[in-house]
Amino acid sequence: MNRFVILLLAFGFANANFCTDGTGHWFMSLAEGVTDYSYGGSRLNTNYYCFEGCLNTGTALQNYKVALSGNNGTTLERSRVVKEIVSLHAQVKIHDDDDPNAEFCVDPVLRQDIANALKKTTQNSCKNIVNTLVLNLNRPGWAITCIQFDEFALDGVISDMNFCSYDAVANGEIYTIRLAKLDMS
């Protein structure tokens, strides 16, 4: 419990001080128990796209300014435990719209493109996943990150066509993939 409280404090501090300029819509994520990570798409730039990860401490922090599509979605900060994510994705899909990724990856074309690209990965690693997505999605100006973690994550999400938080499960491992069209202004 103490570790969770410390992580919440770190989340609040990081959200206030990590790569933000006070303009636009910033979305961040902090993961604990990180075993793999990678980032790609647009180049890192402290004006709109930051990522820091450390396998020694098992943490990853990402923050980026998203160019929202204008549908005025509600921003949500959520806490997620890996076991719950794996359980959610293990449930049998009865209808096509039962996709657990649909809530925060609302663009059905993007979701399908991600699913198709993930079938082309040659090995289950964040670096391979990000490289495959960069090569297959053709979305200039977008940030793509992947984090594999075995504990929990705190992240900001929104239901918007220019933002996607997508969980992929492979061999019992969870990969959280986040894509966002960057606001480079």
Q: Is the pLDDT of residue 92 over 70?
A: no
How is the chain split into domains, by residue range?
Answer: 2-181
Residues 51-55, mean pLDDT to the nearest whole number: 94
pLDDT of residue 22: 80
Q: Is the pLDDT of residue 7 over 70?
A: no
pLDDT of residue 68: 93
Residues 84-110, mean pLDDT to the nearest whole number: 76
Phi then psi for 139, rounded to 5 degrees?
-125, 80
Q: Is the pLDDT of residue 66 over 80?
A: yes
Q: Rounded to whole angstroms, what are the CA distances from 157 to 85, 99, 109?
A: 15, 17, 19
